[in-house]
């Protein structure tokens, strides 16, 4: 075996070692993350049972909180990151490799449509996330095509309609400016909803 072959073999072994190390770290992190989530869910369940068993007032408060209130999962995730770090989020682990292109939403024309607006954009326009939040829905909606809904930390749900979603998955936490996908043609539908009511597009984005 000549010197060149020896060097190539050493490089291959080194690359395999680092790949194995990286894989082991991911598995270890996933198991740790999963265990912590299960533990937190168990603690929350026990607290709920104790409150329900303790008094009728506690039971009534719990039912009102979880069954009649629009809970902001994005806000919970934001608080967790603030006080406990970003090791765990609601949804998939935050990824640094999602495409951020820091582009502002631009369009040629805007008109009212259903409970939001219909924007005329370039063909197969690359759609940026307008707000940080958690993806709470991906799927078809009547008269809107494929829809992606992001719940922001302010409790508002932003609907992106007529969009072919990229590598975004349900319950991913996304930052503002992340590439969500591209439009199916040259139209993009945007709606903003909070507590079951639809907000005015211009007023919401002017105030925020």
Structure tokens of 31?
A: 């198991």
Higher-confidence position of 81 and 171: 171
Across the range 168-172, mean pLDDT stands at 89
Structure tokens at 120: 């005329």
pLDDT, tens digit, 9 for 90 and up, residues 46-84: 776 676 666 666 666 655 555 544 555 555 555 555 444
Kindly report the number of other CB atoms within 10 A of residue 181's CB atom.
19
> Residue written as tokens 């996933």?
30
Residue 34: pLDDT above 80?
A: no
Q: What is the pLDDT of residue 16?
A: 58
Residue pLDDT, tens place only, 175-205: 888 899 999 999 999 999 998 899 999 988 8
CA distance 43 to 97: 33
Task: Give me the phi and psi of 75, to 5 degrees please.
Answer: -70, -40
Instruction: Flag whether pLDDT at 150 surpasses 70.
Output: yes
pTM for the model: 0.58
pLDDT of residue 128: 92
User: What is the model's pLDDT at position 90?
Assistant: 47
Give the pLDDT of residue 45: 73
pLDDT of residue 117: 95
Please tell me the predicted confidence (pLDDT) of residue 43.
76
Range among 14-28, 111-125, 167-181 with highest mean pLDDT value: 111-125
The answer to whether 158 touches 192, Cβ cutoff 8 Å, is yes
Beta pairing partners, 160: 148, 190
Digit-coded pLDDT (tens) for 92-125: 444 444 555 556 788 999 999 999 999 999 999 9
**Which is higher by pLDDT, 127 or 166?**
127
Nearest alpha-carbon partner for 127 in 186, 53, 169:
186
Q: Report the 10 Å Cβ neighbour count for 174.
A: 23
pLDDT tens digits for range 139-148: 999 999 999 9
Which pLDDT score is estimated for 149? 95
Q: What is the pLDDT of residue 97?
A: 47
């Amino acid at each position: 075996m000549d010197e060149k072959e020896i060097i190539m073999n050493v490089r291959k072994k080194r690359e395999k070692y680092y790949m194995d190390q990286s894989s082991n770290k991911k598995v270890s992190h996933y198991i740790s993350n999963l265990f912590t989530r299960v533990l937190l869910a168990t603690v929350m369940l026990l607290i709920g049972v104790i409150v329900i068993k303790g008094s009728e007032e506690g039971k009534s408060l719990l039912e009102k909180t979880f069954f009649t209130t629009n809970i902001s999962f994005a806000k919970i995730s934001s608080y967790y990151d603030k006080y406990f770090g970003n090791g765990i989020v609601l949804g998939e682990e935050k990824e640094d490799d999602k495409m951020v292109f820091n582009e502002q939403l631009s369009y040629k024309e805007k008109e009212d449509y259903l409970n939001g607006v219909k924007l005329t954009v370039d063909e197969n326009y690359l759609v940026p996330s307008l707000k940080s939040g958690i993806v709470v829905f991906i799927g078809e909606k009547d008269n809107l095509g494929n829809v992606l809904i992001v719940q922001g930390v302010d409790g508002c749900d932003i609907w992106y309609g007529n969009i072919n979603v990229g590598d975004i998955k349900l319950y991913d936490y996304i930052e503002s400016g992340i590439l969500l996908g591209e439009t199916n043609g040259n139209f993009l539908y945007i709606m903003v909803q909070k507590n079951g009511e639809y907000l005015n597009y211009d007023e919401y984005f002017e105030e925020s």
